[in-house]
Amino acid sequence: MNPQAPREQLEILEAKNLLRQLHPLDSAPGTRIARNGRKLWNFASNDYLGLATHPEVSHAYIEGIHRYGTGSTASRLITGTCTPHLTLEENLAAAKGTTAALTFSSGYTTALSSIPVIVGKGDHVILDKLAHACLIDAARTSGATLRVFPHNHVGKLRTLLSKLREKHAHSRILVITESVFSMDGDLCPLREITHACSQHGALLFLDEAHATGVLGPTGMGLAEALGLQHRIDFQMGTLSKALGLSGGYLAAKRDWIDLIINRARPFIYTTAPPPALAAAATTSLAIIRSPEGGTLRKQLFKNIESLKPQHPSPIIPLILGSESEALAAAATLLEKGFLIPAIRYPTVARGSARLRLTASAAHPSEAIAALLTALSQADH
Ligand SMILES: *Cc1c(COP(=O)(O)O)cnc(C)c1O
């Protein structure tokens, strides 16, 4: 219960430097964008390979509309499933080395659909402390008992697992983590986590939202990069980041996917994503897995190397501390022509407000050079 009027609540947020507002772009969300009548270099998007404006992906989308219309008109279990949905899901399953895959309206609903089917009351979920909001919300919704381990701390994870197993020899335990953390850009110690899970008979759910398209020989993520796909029970990802579209996916064994189709409320009770979108995603996935995708990843990592040597992902956090410092730094960079947003509580912990800089293969070298100059000036 919050008895304060909405205006009062907004004023409190503003006084704490925590008010958020929508800022529309007047252009496509490429690397060069227009906002408020100004041209800016965009270092804020998750379009890591530039596929959101790729001509072949756009063409597949438009062709899909010509063939299948603009909307799916019904839920997946009524008449909303068209051939392109199944083609996309077959290609995702093959790419992930699983027997099945299912797509959803978003990454958020992928978590919300699947996790409460995998675990429920009497089961246990163990989450990394920095897991994405959708994973936390899904775990809460499931009714399972929640535990959290300190970020990437496999020792603590092992302790939690063995304590739970001592008390609950037969209950289901689901460990949930991400391959590339969305606000820190670091990787999880996946190999050690898979060992810990199999040792204690726990299932592993891995969110590859920021690794899909980015890591691995065919861009399928950290599990592919480490040759561990067969050790992950649930491989989740999104079509909204490197694929440049919108939607989410889960790759898993056929029985789990069939159970999710039967039980997941956010999957069953919503209209299917447009078939044209699924057709575009199939094209995007094919580009990611092709030699062109490999070339784009090479360019992406060259850009990352220029911005922050040895960094493992396109998400580069510049941690400032207070909300006001982060806002001031974002404003200074905006003044110089760079869009790099301030990320504040509750997206990140209090005292760790930051700029979240993201690199793309599509950034020209002049943009990267100009940004490095602007950042070094800001240091003084
Ligand atoms: C963005 C993100 C999601 C949600 O995906 P959407 O398709 O944007 O809903 C899920 N998990 C992580 C780690 C993310 O960064």
The DSSP result for 26-71, as a single string, is SS-SSSEEEETTEEEEE-----TTSGGG-HHHHHHHHHHHHHH-S-
Ligand 1 atom at shortest distance from the alpha carbon of 132: 13
- Give the pLDDT mean for 146-167: 98
Distance between CA atoms of residues 46 and 9, nearest Å: 31
- Answer whether 356 contacts ligand 1 (Cβ < 6 A): no
Tokens (6 digits) for 127: 């989450």
**Per-residue pLDDT at 379 exceeds 70:** no
Q: 107 alpha carbon to ligand 1 midpoint, in Å? A: 5
pLDDT the model gives residue 3:
79
pLDDT at 117: 98
Please indicate whether residue 238, judged by its CB atom, sits closer than 6 Å to ligand 1.
yes
Known catalytic residue at 151 = no
Decide if pLDDT at 180 tops 70: yes
- Name the active-site residue from 47, 89, 128, 178: 178
Whether residue 221 contacts residue 179, with contact meaning beta carbons closer than 8 Å, is answered with: yes
The CA 238 to ligand 1 mean position distance, Å, reads: 6
CA dist., res. 11 & res. 227, Å (int): 50
Quick one: average pLDDT of 243-262? 98
| Residue 178 annotated as catalytic | yes
Question: Mean pLDDT across the stretch 181-205?
Answer: 98
Three-state DSSP class for residue 18:
coil
Q: Is the pLDDT of residue 185 over 80?
A: yes
Is there an atom of ligand 1 within 6 Å of 131 CB? no
DSSP 8-state assignment for residue 271: B
pLDDT digits over 96-123, tens only? 999 999 999 999 999 999 999 999 999 9
- Please, which pLDDT band fits residue 218 given cuts at 50, 70 and 90? very high
Residue 11 makes CB contacts below 8 A (sequence gap 6+) with none
Question: Ligand 1 centre from 30 Cα, in Å?
Answer: 19
Q: What is the pLDDT of residues 270-315, one digit of tens each?
A: 999 999 999 999 999 999 999 999 999 999 999 999 999 999 999 9
Residue nearest to atom 6 of ligand 1 (CA): 107
Contacts of 172 (CB under 8 A, 6+ apart): 118, 119, 123, 124, 203
**What's the pLDDT at 2?**
65
Nearest CA, atom 3, ligand 1: 107
- The answer to whether 66 is a known catalytic residue is no
What per-residue confidence (pLDDT) applies to 31? 97
Please tell me the predicted confidence (pLDDT) of residue 1: 57
**CA-nearest residue, atom 5 of ligand 1:** 107
DSSP class per residue in 94-141: HHHTSSEEEEES-HHHHHHHHHHHH--TT-EEEEETT--HHHHHHHHH
Q: Is 185 in the pocket of ligand 1 (CB under 6 A)?
A: no
Please check the confidence at residue 380 and state whether its pLDDT lies above 90: no
Question: Is the minimum distance from the CB of 209 to ligand 1 under 6 angstroms?
Answer: yes
**Measured distance CA(229)–CA(150) in Å, rounded:** 24
> What token pair was written down for 256?
């789990």
Give the lowest-confidence range in 1-5, 67-71, 225-229. 1-5
**Annotation marks residue 163 as catalytic:** no
pLDDT at 130 over 60: yes
Active-site residue flag, 208: no
Encode pLDDT of 54-97 as tens digits: 999 999 999 999 999 999 999 999 999 999 999 999 999 999 99
Report the run of H or E that residue 205 belongs to, with start and end.
Answer: strand 203-207
Protein residue with its CA nearest to atom 12 in ligand 1: 209
pLDDT at 378 over 90: no
